[in-house]
Amino acid sequence: MKPTHIIGIVVIAVAIGMIITTMGDASQYVTFAQAQEMAKNGRTTKIHVVGSLRKNQQGRVLDLQYDPKVNPNYFAFTLIDSEKRAERVVFRNPKPSDFERSEQVVVIGSYQKDGFVADKILMKCPSKYQENKLETKEASVKP
């Protein structure tokens, strides 16, 4: 075999190895119950939990804890997952802007000794065009 063929085979083998290892580390979407079970079993990979915020009848978000004067890098809130389980989530960064307006929230993190700790928060906010929909009417043309 030529040395270039051997080098090509080695490069391909390394690439395949890297793909397999990154696929094993890929995070997954789970519920809080599944996340807690994974943490009990010693699994520390980052996971995604999708949920909604607890709101009152007027649509105001409940259970937010953020005081930038006391600690600007501590934000806690209650998230309700797809199984309707409410869980306290701690985010050790400033509160994202327009957090209260989000329809759905994805937290990426893991269970730790003080509960679910999020490293990232992704929000699905309502469209800015949803509130002020433009309506068009066809003009009638008189012959």
Q: What is the CATH number of the domain that holds 71?
A: 2.40.50.140
Residue 72 lies in a domain: yes
Question: What amino acid is encoded at 110 in this protein?
Answer: S
Residue 139 lies in a domain: no
Can you give the residue range of the structural domain that contains 101? 27-124
Residue 71 lies in a domain: yes
For the chain, the domain total comes to 1
Residue 44 lies in a domain: yes
Whole-model pTM: value is 0.67
Cα gap 61→83, rounded to integer Å: 19
Looking at residue 130, what is its pLDDT? 53
Looking at residue 135, what is its pLDDT? 52
Burial grade of 130 (CB within 10 A; 0-12, 13-18, 19 or more): exposed
Looking at residue 124, what is its pLDDT? 84
Residue 129 lies in a domain: no
Residue 141 lies in a domain: no
Residue 37 lies in a domain: yes
Digit-by-digit pLDDT tens for the chain (143 residues) are: 788 888 888 889 888 877 776 655 555 688 888 888 888 888 777 889 999 998 888 888 888 999 999 999 999 999 999 899 999 999 999 999 888 888 889 999 988 877 899 999 998 876 654 555 555 445 555 55
Burial grade of 24 (CB within 10 A; 0-12, 13-18, 19 or more): exposed
Residue 143 lies in a domain: no
Asked if 108 and 96 count as a contact pair (C-beta separation under 8 A), the reply is no
